[in-house]
Amino acid sequence: MAELDFAQYIPQRVVFVDHDGEEIAADIQATLPELEFRLRERHTVTAEDFQWADTMIGYTNGIEHVAQLRWVHSSAAGVDALLRKGWAEGVLLTRTVGKMGQRIAEYCLAHALAHTQFIRLAADQQRQRSTSRYRPELLRGTNVVVFGTGEIGQAVGNAFAAVGCRVLGVSRTGRAVAPFEQVVAMEECAPVLAESDWIVFTLPLTEQTRHIFNADRLSHCNGAKLISVGRGAVVDAAAMLTALDAGQISAAVLDVFEKEPLAPESPLWTHPQVVVTPHIAGRTDPEDVAKDFLDAVAALKQNSRPRLTADPARGY
């Protein structure tokens, strides 16, 4: 989109279709009082609202009206749901990241440390009034492989590097980027999987990444622990369960799932090596949406591409 006249996307009328609309609109209008807003719930937005607006802030509702808009600012980092039915040519798509990288990084580090320090065992022993000794392990010196080396993956890499881990990256291109000691392309990841102690998934969901962690890639693992915080469908859950039982991976921390909420009958709930959390690792706060939207408007006024512009052709 480098050839575009980005100034054409400067907003005038914004329809907001998501949670926390009043708070986000107030934050935005404190800086841009000239903007007109319509605040709608997902079940109250109408086709007329999209005819009135030139810009939408939200997530999936109204996707069928995107062609009537000039700009859609996603209130989430992932845009796969918006792109599911294709994308209208010429409509700008940006996204919200905010403090998500730091939140996800701390989530991953916390669960890794909980594992090496046997925090759950300590809690179980306290409930049982047991004082059986155990031997905590060091996270320092372990190999951490992060799938996805964008802004969120880099934050995860920085967190593990800060405690002395060797951090490797896997990306679509294999392009070198800090803080990763080495970055390999997706099709060349088998050797780094074989030496991994921890594998973290921060990948967006595209047709290329769906079930990219499948039985074939799992077969290269030697007891690694897995943390999934990007999109659930990146991991083939059935193959992962088989790999857990076979010892190819020794534990899994899952915050995202192919279908959410996770079905009550899913075997993931009761598997002894699996920790389930309810998609909370990368929570988006209202101030994150407002700030990233305002940053994008500032770029548009300079006729520049906003930093968090998504590429519909790539899917992120």
Contact indicator for 61, 111 with CB cutoff of 8 Å = no
Structure tokens at 208: 């290329």
Contact 145, 153 (CB under 8 A): no
Q: Of residues 210, 220, 271, 279, which has the active-site annotation? A: 279
Q: Are 198 and 227 in contact (CB under 8 A)?
A: yes
Specify whether the CB–CB gap between 211 and 235 falls below 8 A: yes
**From the centroid of its chain, how far is CA 170?**
15
CA distance 77 to 283: 10
Rounded CA-CA distance 21/39 in Å is: 6
Cis peptide upstream of residue 179 (ω within 30 degrees of 0): yes
Measured distance CA(91)–CA(116) in Å, rounded: 47
Is 231 in the active site?
Answer: yes
- Count of CA atoms in the C-beta half-sphere (13 A) of 93: 25
Q: From the candidates 48, 64, 188, 260, which is the catalytic residue?
A: 260
Dihedrals φ, ψ of 243, to 5°? -65, -35
Active site residue 260: yes
Residues 293 and 267 sit within 8 Å (Cβ to Cβ):
no
CA terminus-to-terminus distance, the chain: 14
Q: Is there a catalytic annotation at residue 65? A: no
Contacts for 122 with CB less than 8 Å, ≥ 6 apart: none
| Dist CA 176 CA 111 (whole Å) | 27
User: In whole angstroms, what is the distance from residue 151 CA to residue 122 CA?
Assistant: 34
Q: Which residues are catalytic?
A: 231, 260, 279
